[in-house]
Amino acid sequence: MIFENFNLYINKNTQELVNVILHPINKKKFFEKLIKENFKFKEGSERLRNFIKEEVDSLKSQNFIHIFGGQLKTSSRLIVGLGSSHVLETSITLHHIYGIPYIPSSALKGVCRMVAFWKIAENKNVINNEKELSKIQNEFYGELSSDKETLKYQLLFGTQNFKGILLFLDAHPVIENNIEIFDLDIMNVHYPGYYGDQTGKTPPGDWENPRPIFFLTLKEGIKFNFNILFDRFRVNSILKMEREELKRLKIPLETKEIIGNWIKDAEQDLKDLIKNILMEALKNFGVGAKTRLGYGIFEYV
């Protein structure tokens, strides 16, 4: 059976998957074969790029402002969805239709929102004050706040009672030629008995044999397209609201001043703010799995 779509191959290729499951030693060979296979990544990338372009154009016609659209490339290995359920023990996030790896919008928004939180903590000079930090965290992830510094980022990323004004789209790779885009990586579990014992009775001992777990990552140097939009329609709606309506919707009065400043200079200040947050998130923190080990870091093309 021939699979041109990588997602179908790794998820629907029953014969090979069963062989790998029954004989784990074949897992490394299976991944090495995947890396060399001539899947149609270029075609999938082009189709997804056209789809995203149509999506952006459609949103712009609905009064969304395209405040960030550009390319960044991986400066380290990238793996998204490593811990998702899969018969091969490890997984990778793949587009169901086009079969190529991508970064879900929720992952991008999450890491950018984290950066926004630390900006608030830094501006309030409470990074080393655990009690105040916890207080700001509860406020930031709760409902809309009357504190302008906190409210500014809450309006962008959303809260429990307010949908964020920013719209993140999935980031997709730009694959210009049918080249190898994956590297084989390894996790080495030194105490499989200890980690696998749910009763907690097995101690971690040096007498256990390490059990290597092979998995796929995207190579460094892979370019990705990123797109972030700003919901100008909702902003205009909020600016037209009277005091009583804002109060009914639990939207602080300070909101009008904040969003008014954003649109005063054709959103330029907001564009700079979002670009800085995205770059700080991707260059300093990374996205996806194993970021604490340096995975998922990006740089300018």
What pLDDT, in 10s, does the model give residues 91-109? Answer: 999 999 999 999 999 999 9
Q: What is the mean pLDDT of residues 112-132?
A: 93
Residue type, 49: R
Residue 291 has what DSSP assignment? G
3-state secondary structure of 215: strand
The alpha helices in 141-252, defined as continuous H runs, are: 148-157, 192-196, 232-239, 243-248
pTM for this one? Answer: 0.90
Q: Is the pLDDT of residue 1 over 50?
A: no
Span of 24-28, 33-37, 207-211, 258-262 with lowest mean pLDDT = 24-28
Band (3; pLDDT cuts 50, 70, 90): low
Structure tokens at 162: 């307010």
Residue 22, pLDDT score: 66
Q: What is the mean pLDDT of residues 172-193?
A: 87
CB contact at 8 A, 25 and 95:
no
Q: Is the pLDDT of residue 123 over 70?
A: yes
Band (163; pLDDT cuts 50, 70, 90): very high
Q: Is the pLDDT of residue 130 over 60?
A: yes
Q: Is the pLDDT of residue 173 over 80?
A: yes
E strands in the chain: 64-74, 166-168, 172-174, 182-189, 211-218, 223-231, 298-300
Residue 210, pLDDT score: 79
Q: Is the pLDDT of residue 2 over 70?
A: no
Q: What is the mean pLDDT of residues 30-58?
A: 91
Q: What is the mean pLDDT of residues 185-199?
A: 85
Q: What is the mean pLDDT of residues 57-83?
A: 95
- For 99, phi then psi, to 5°, come to 75, 10
3-state secondary structure of 266: coil
Q: What is the mean pLDDT of residues 9-35?
A: 78
C-alpha distance from residue 70 to each of 143, 257, 301 (Å):
32, 29, 9
